Amino acid sequence: MDSSRWTETRRIHGAALDLPIDERESFLRLECGGDLALYNEIKSILDAESPDEFLQSPPVIEAVHLGDFDLMAEIGSGSTGIVYRAWQHSLSREVALKLLPRHFADNKERVARFQREARAAGKLRHPGIASIFGVSCEGTSHFFTMELIDGVDLAAELSAIRKGEPNSLPEANSFAYFDYIAKLIKGCADALSFAHGIGVVHRDVKPHNIMIDGNGLPHLVDFGLAKDVALGSITITDRVEGTPYYMSPEQARASQGGVGPSTDVYSLGAVLYELLTLARPYEGRTAKEVIDKILIRDPKPVLASNKAVPKDLALICGKAMERLPEFRYESMLAFEEDLQRFLDRGPILAAPPSMRRRALRFCKAQRLPVSVAAVGMFIAVSANVAAKWQATSHFVSVHIQATLADERVAVVGEGWAYPLNTDGFPTEAEPVSLGKNPFNFELPPGTWKCWFQAEGGQVSELFLVLPSGSEPLSLTTILRPTEEARRGMVLVDAGGWDANGSCPFLAIGSEIPPFWADRFEVTVDQYREFCEATGHRTPVFWGEVDLGLLPGDYPATGMTIEDAKAYASWKGKRLLSHAEFDYLLHGKMGSPYCWGDEEPTIEHRGDVLRSVDAGETLEERFLGFLKHVRPVGTFPLGATPDGLLDIGGNVSEYLGTPAFWGIGDTRLTQDTKVLEIHSSYLEIRERVDGRYAHIAHSTGSFLHIGFRCAQTDSH
């Protein structure tokens, strides 16, 4: 490697490190230009920055005597320091002494954190929490002393169980084992509930920090990351750090202020998960990989990993580990009480998630994320629809009321449901008649394209994505004359094309029937008209920026996928299917780009990527958006052969059917996850067999994701 290249590597690496984790990727892409080798080199170095102890200097202590204490042996290490067994001369007793490594002694953040730990833990007097005796400093050595728990930590016990070595727990998978771990976790919950009661959140609950004493009782240690609400927070506290395996999604996202008591509920749930399955909820080669998984995937269901687990205990674990805090136990106490109900063999509170909750989880409109992370082919992952996709015989009840746009009254008409495969290709199966308006019907789980026609010829179309076990669904749809609906649309004749061999991510499908698609992405003006006509909520950011700056011919962004679907439905249309979108991206011949083989330039696709990195605040990002996004149709060079614009450029787009995309380059199988939305490729450097995969971390709203509508030509 020549020296200028090395300098460049170091410069970009250093600059990326200064950014929050979820912004590094896009920065890196931007900085590396099209230089894939450079990108790969820096990315692998960034990924290797794990929070473990690799090359961290051995702790340095000036003396084995620290004031009143003799250090005897190192017994462990926590997030903030090394723990020694020590002898206290004045009181003739053994204590645990935690020493801040000397190389942190002049690091103000570390010292502050160390003292915060002592203060936070010092407030806690509970049999399940190791008591703090005192805080002190000798020379440059900061340390505090605490109750010495004679025992082993749960991480060591777990490791022994896994290896079949002797341990203090009852035999794995026996009744006694499950009862014991329910008691153990309940003991931890009791201690944490106490801590929460006086305003201390542990934030680093993991097996390593749970000591088991000679009586088999748990004691929480290491409040090194604790947040004391009364003491306020220090900037470092909101940064992602520590062992990531037990981190809650909100912690992994490092969301400011979003980390409260429920983060401990999640992490304790993750510990329970490991005790039940003997596997961590998420594994990965690097911290980043683990964090990515926490952000976008659900862990393998407990019962799928270990059938021996009592169902109620698995449900309790699932509820504690819900991805959204509001679906977890409302408090540590509630978690504790449910464990007690399990131990009493009574009915527990935790229940399999209902459809309404899944739907909420699915489309919960979040505020614009702190940083808009991923670029490229966006796939936001539906939280939990996952395992529910395995074919089951449970039909889903659907109620659909069809009305005409101009009259807003129910009309006589017919409806059909066409079964699609998971990528939105038609399947061989026969369409199902839905009866008459209002339509009440039941469908097997899966993806369906529903088509409605009134006697006057008005039509509407929508995708139904039905996970098995869905609760009854109730919708309205608006029928419009086709000539009205197809204004501004282009007919795409995809006949003869199937994805076989074209895209490694698409299931092999049959031909796509001819369809109409909006020539441009839906604009701000169009979306505003919809909101005004229907009272539908406007994108959150509209209320927070100077809307006078936002041109009406910009693509509308900042809405959730549900908002996009609502708009399409109001127009009597639907979003594009994954299959259609892929066809538009690559054409019959499977070209690398939607305009053909020519390498992309800004003239083809714009430079929206820059807006993604425009800043920390909404205002800054909005200004970046204004600067780098262009009015629809600005990039004629990027047109598809059918004349559609911005399919591969300007903002990304939501799609209407789920897609089974790989995390990285591994394809997901049907029983792992359903991914709900994704969009056009902004970023075309990371080629995966000619396709570009990327993952967005949330089903929230994004400044750089818009949408366009589509409609099948004829049925």
Partner 1 sequence: MSEQQHTPGGAESSEGLFSLVYDELYGLAKRSMNGQSPGHTLQPTALVNEAYLKVLKSGNSQWSNREHFLNFAAKAMRHVLVDHARKKDAVKRRSSGERVALDQVVQEFEKRSGNLLALDAGLEALANRDPQLVTIVELHFFGGCSFEETASALGMKTKEVKSGWVFARSWLNNHLKSELGHKIHPNP
Tell me the C-alpha distance between 140 and 432, whole Å. 77
Which positions ≥6 away from 375 have C-beta within 8 Å?
25, 26, 29, 609, 612, 682, 683, 694
Q: How far is the CB of 708 from partner 1 (least distance, A)?
A: 41
Helices (H), 395-509: 482-485
Residue 2 vs 455, nearer CB to partner 1: 2
Tell me the C-alpha distance between 165 and 160, whole Å. 5
Cis peptide before 438 (omega within 30 of 0): yes
Closest CA to 565 of 462, 451, 412, 457: 462
Residue 88 vs 526, nearer CB to partner 1: 88
Tell me the C-alpha distance between 250 and 271, whole Å. 17
Q: How far is the CB of 71 from partner 1 (least distance, A)?
A: 8
Tell me the C-alpha distance between 117 and 629, whole Å. 46
Residue 103 vs 588, nearer CB to partner 1: 103
Residue 72 vs 391, nearer CB to partner 1: 72
Residues 66, 97: contact at Cβ < 8 Å?
A: yes
Residue 17 vs 602, nearer CB to partner 1: 17
Q: How far is the CB of 73 from partner 1 (least distance, A)?
A: 4
Q: How far is the CB of 1 from partner 1 (least distance, A)?
A: 6
Q: What angle do CA 439, 441, 446 make, to 5 degrees?
A: 120
Q: Say how far residue 508 (Cα) sits from the centre of its chain.
A: 28
Return the C-alpha torsion angle 174, 177, 183, 186, nearest 10: -100
Look up tokens 């400011």; give the residue.
Answer: 256
Residue 324 C-beta-side C-alpha neighbours within 13 Å = 19
Q: How far is the CB of 67 from partner 1 (least distance, A)?
A: 18
Q: How far is the CB of 295 from partner 1 (least distance, A)?
A: 21
Residue 6 vs 175, nearer CB to partner 1: 6
Residue by residue, DSSP assigns 379-409 as EEEPSS-GGGGS--S--EEEEEEEEETTT-S
Q: Which helix (H) or strand (E) holds 9?
A: helix 3-17
Closest CA to 625 of 677, 687, 682, 560: 682
Q: How far is the CB of 13 from partner 1 (least distance, A)?
A: 6
Residues in the chain: 715
Active site residue 213: no
What is the residue type of 45?
I
Rounded to the nearest 10 degrees, the angle between the axes of helix 561-570 and helix 524-534 is: 80
Residue 54 vs 535, nearer CB to partner 1: 54
Tell me the C-alpha distance between 413 and 126, whole Å. 68
Which residues pair with residue 82 across a beta bridge? 77, 99
Question: Residue 99 phi/psi, 5° resolution?
Answer: -115, 130
Residue 140 vs 433, nearer CB to partner 1: 140
Six-digit token string for 27: 């920065």
Tell me the C-alpha distance between 655 and 664, whole Å. 20
Q: How far is the CB of 80 from partner 1 (least distance, A)?
A: 13
Residue by residue, DSSP assigns 210-273 as EEEETTS-EEE---TT-EETTT---GGGGS--S-GGG--HHHHTT-TT---HHHHHHHHHHHHH
Residue 63 vs 589, nearer CB to partner 1: 63
Residue 73 vs 409, nearer CB to partner 1: 73
Q: How far is the CB of 74 from partner 1 (least distance, A)?
A: 5
Residue 39 vs 425, nearer CB to partner 1: 39
Please report, for residues 441, 459, 470, 473, 664, the alpha-carbon distance to residue 355 in angstroms, rounded to integers and kept in the order given. Answer: 17, 28, 5, 9, 29
What is the residue type of 108?
K
Tell me the C-alpha distance between 381 and 363, whole Å. 11
Own/partner pairs, 84-91, CB within 8 angstroms, 24+ separation: 85/148, 86/145, 88/145
Q: How far is the CB of 101 from partner 1 (least distance, A)?
A: 10
Q: How far is the CB of 85 from partner 1 (least distance, A)?
A: 8
Tell me the C-alpha distance between 324 and 337, whole Å. 20
List the catalytic residue out of 204, 238, 292, 582.
204
Residue 209 vs 701, nearer CB to partner 1: 209
Q: How far is the CB of 68 from partner 1 (least distance, A)?
A: 19
Tell me the C-alpha distance between 22 and 372, whole Å. 8
Q: How far is the CB of 670 from partner 1 (least distance, A)?
A: 31
| Chain residues in the site for partner 1 (CB under 8 A) | 1, 6, 10, 13-14, 17, 44-62, 64, 72-75, 77, 82, 102-103, 105-106, 208, 243, 285
Residue 72 vs 304, nearer CB to partner 1: 72
Q: Which residues are catalytic?
A: 204
